């Protein structure tokens, strides 16, 4: 705004800055004058706000350090994290945290490797963010972690945190060093580690082989693609054969191993919130994708059915679906064994999320220019081929930020589990305040802690999604 010599003297500065252009570096005194005291009413507002903020900060500090009764939080940290998870089996969750931390690190590394590879192909320089920028990006989560570590009385959590962060860092550097054209294998490894981490707690048995088989099969398919086959037919046979083989191997391994774990009915606390959100989005994605394709299809029957499902689900609050799941989802099935509360809740979450994902994916499908479709048709691809090879890859790339946003909303919605008495982190409070020492004691304090836990994850993820949005250049093409 400084380069406007034609402005009449006395013409007021705008109340709103329309364009947040590149920041100019000003000396502190000038900066303060420009941004806090540039005219009489801004001066007034600044003075009043400083006074009000000072008072609020004083009261808040008083609450934090003097009046706050933090013992209900401090003495029940394990309860807030994992609820009443069997304490002899706690090593499972400890291992899971370390494995998943490594998985996230590997995924991050693979993403870096992939980005570097694509940048090299496109002939653009690729610069990695310095460590400080990464730390700044995740300050919300790091703050929560440090706070929890400060509140604990033993060294166990500190060691766990250090090992987990270490595993993440090691795996990240491993992932980032893999040549870019092998990134596909890295993603298969990420899948195997992710499923494996989940099954460390849930046990390697039952239908677990299906979940483990999927990323393994993906890896096998990648491998088959690398090999030069003499004919297209042979390659296809090899691909199908290896997929079936891998699933068969997984089935055999799980039948022989049959290691029991702790079922999800015993999972509680923040651990459960994160897992329910992840499970719901993973389970809802295929359904949402199909719904979106059906809604966009040229088949009127499919369109009508998909649209009515989506509008029906989006028109009612999640609670009513959870209640429906609690009271009569069992009646819809002809099973004799009743499903557990959590299973029914996860079913409701999945149905609910699929409608929202369908709308997100539909937005992505609409963002693909028509010319892309026509180009696909003109090279003789079938309608399925056009969708699979041309439309979907572009559409799904464009919806990543919105999917992260949906994940955040879902994570916040997991607090609704407390209404049907599943002991997720908000409901753990009722366990805490049922203890004789904390009856009606420290209500605000436990709530603030729960808020902080939700906030740290959601805030970090929302920042990440904004960054992705900028990097993917959504809306700019």
For residues 338 and 273, give the distance between their C-alpha atoms in angstroms, rounded to a whole number.
23
Nearer to other proteins, 390 or 416 (CB): 416
For residues 206 and 214, give the distance between their C-alpha atoms in angstroms, rounded to a whole number.
15
Nearer to other proteins, 138 or 455 (CB): 455
Window of 82-90, 164-172, 364-372, 458-466 that interacts with other proteins by CB under 8 A: 458-466
Nearer to other proteins, 117 or 455 (CB): 455
SS (H, E, C) 272-325: HHHHHHHHHHHHHHHHHHHHHHHHHCCCHHHHHHHHHHHHHHHHCCHHHHHHHH
Q: How far is the CB of 463 from other proteins (least distance, A)?
A: 9
Among 117, 205, 455, 468, the residue binding other proteins under the rule CB under 8 A is 455
Q: What residues form DSSP beta bridges with 269?
A: 424
Burial 363-399 (b: 16+ CB within 10 A, else e): ebbeebeeeebeebeeeebeeeebbeebbbeebeebb
Nearer to other proteins, 126 or 328 (CB): 328
Nearer to other proteins, 164 or 310 (CB): 310
Q: What residues form DSSP beta bridges with 203?
A: 260
Return the residues of window 350-389 that contact other proteins according to CB under 8 A.
Answer: 377
For residues 89 and 194, give the distance between their C-alpha atoms in angstroms, rounded to a whole number.
19
Q: How far is the CB of 457 from other proteins (least distance, A)?
A: 8
Return the residues of window 46-75 that contact other proteins according to CB under 8 A.
Answer: 46, 49-50, 53
240 lines the binding site for other proteins (CB under 8 A) = no
Give, in degrees to the nearest 5, the angle at Cα 284 between 279 and 288.
Answer: 160
Among 166, 206, 263, 330, the residue binding other proteins under the rule CB under 8 A is 330
Nearer to other proteins, 134 or 314 (CB): 314
Among 30, 179, 331, 476, the residue binding other proteins under the rule CB under 8 A is 331
Nearer to other proteins, 67 or 120 (CB): 67
Q: How many other CB atoms sit within 10 Å of the CB of residue 435? A: 13
Q: How far is the CB of 334 from other proteins (least distance, A)?
A: 5
272 CB contacts (<8 Å, ≥6 apart)? 83, 264, 342, 414, 417, 422, 423, 424, 425
For residues 196 and 201, give the distance between their C-alpha atoms in angstroms, rounded to a whole number.
9
Nearer to other proteins, 402 or 416 (CB): 416
Among 141, 394, 458, 474, the residue binding other proteins under the rule CB under 8 A is 458
For residues 370 and 365, give the distance between their C-alpha atoms in angstroms, rounded to a whole number.
10
For residues 312 and 289, give the distance between their C-alpha atoms in angstroms, rounded to a whole number.
17
DSSP code of residue 424: B
Among 415, 464, 468, 472, the residue binding other proteins under the rule CB under 8 A is 415
Answer whether 441's CB lies under 8 Å from 72's CB: yes
Nearer to other proteins, 264 or 356 (CB): 356
Residues near other proteins (CB under 8 A), total: 64
Window of 176-184, 186-194, 251-259, 332-340 that interacts with other proteins by CB under 8 A: 332-340
Among 170, 221, 459, 472, the residue binding other proteins under the rule CB under 8 A is 459
Among 3, 9, 16, 127, the residue binding other proteins under the rule CB under 8 A is 16
Q: Which tokens is 18 given?
A: 């329309």
334 lines the binding site for other proteins (CB under 8 A) = yes
Nearer to other proteins, 90 or 448 (CB): 448
Among 142, 174, 305, 472, the residue binding other proteins under the rule CB under 8 A is 305
91 lines the binding site for other proteins (CB under 8 A) = no
Answer whether 204's CB lies under 8 Å from 186's CB: no
CA end-to-end span of the chain: 29
Q: Which residues bind other proteins (CB under 8 A)?
A: 7-8, 11-20, 35-36, 38, 42, 45-46, 49-50, 53, 298-302, 305, 311-312, 314-317, 319-320, 323-324, 327-328, 330-334, 377, 408, 412-413, 415-416, 418-419, 426, 440, 443-444, 447, 450-451, 454-455, 458-459, 462
């Amino acid at each position: 705004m400084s380069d406007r010599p034609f402005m009449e003297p006395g013409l007021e500065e705008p109340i709103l800055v329309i364009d947040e252009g590149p920041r100019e570096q000003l000396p502190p005194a000038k900066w303060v004058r420009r941004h806090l005291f540039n005219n009489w009413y801004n001066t007034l507002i600044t003075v009043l706000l400083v006074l009000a903020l000072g008072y609020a900060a004083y009261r808040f500090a008083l609450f934090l350090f003097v009046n706050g009764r933090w013992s209900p939080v401090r003495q029940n940290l394990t309860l807030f994290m994992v609820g009443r998870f069997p304490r002899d089996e706690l090593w499972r969750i400890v291992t899971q945290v370390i494995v998943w931390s490594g998985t996230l690190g590997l995924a991050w590394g693979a993403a870096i490797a992939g980005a570097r590879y694509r940048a090299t192909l496109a002939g653009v320089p690729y610069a990695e963010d310095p460590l400080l920028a990464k730390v700044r990006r995740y300050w919300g989560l790091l703050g929560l972690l440090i706070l929890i570590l400060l509140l604990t009385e033993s060294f166990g959590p500190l060691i766990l945190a250090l090992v987990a962060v270490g595993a993440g860092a090691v795996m990240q550097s491993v992932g980032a060093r893999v040549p870019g054209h092998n990134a596909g294998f890295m993603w298969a490894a990420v899948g195997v580690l992710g499923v494996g981490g989940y099954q460390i707690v849930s046990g390697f048995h039952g239908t677990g082989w299906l979940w483990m088989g999927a990323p393994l099969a993906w890896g096998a398919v990648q491998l088959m693609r690398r090999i030069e086959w003499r004919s297209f037919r042979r390659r296809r046979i090899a691909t199908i054969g290896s997929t079936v083989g891998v699933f068969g191997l997984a089935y055999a391994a799980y039948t022989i191993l049959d290691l029991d774990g702790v079922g999800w009915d015993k999972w509680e606390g923040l651990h459960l919130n994160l897992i329910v959100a992840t499970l719901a989005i993973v389970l809802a994605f295929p359904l949402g994708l199909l719904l979106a394709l059906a809604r966009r299809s040229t088949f009127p029957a499919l369109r009508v059915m998909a649209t009515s499902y989506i509008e029906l689900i989006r028109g009612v609050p999640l609670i009513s679906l959870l209640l429906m799941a609690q009271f009569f989802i069992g009646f819809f099935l002809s099973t004799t064994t009743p499903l557990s509360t959590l299973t029914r809740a996860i079913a409701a979450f999945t149905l609910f999320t699929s409608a929202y994902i369908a709308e997100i994916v539909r937005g992505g499908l609409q963002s693909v220019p028509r010319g892309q479709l026509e180009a696909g048709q003109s090279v003789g691809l079938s309608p399925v081929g056009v969708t699979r090879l041309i439309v979907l890859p572009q559409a799904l790339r464009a919806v990543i930020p919105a999917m992260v946003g949906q994940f955040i909303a879902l994570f916040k919605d997991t607090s609704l589990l407390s209404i049907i008495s599943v002991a997720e982190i908000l409901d753990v409070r009722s366990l805490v305040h049922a203890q004789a020492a904390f009856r009606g004691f420290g209500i605000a304090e436990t709530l603030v802690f729960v808020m902080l836990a939700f906030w740290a994850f959601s805030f970090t993820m929302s920042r990440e999604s904004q960054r992705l949005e900028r990097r993917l250049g959504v809306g700019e093409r």
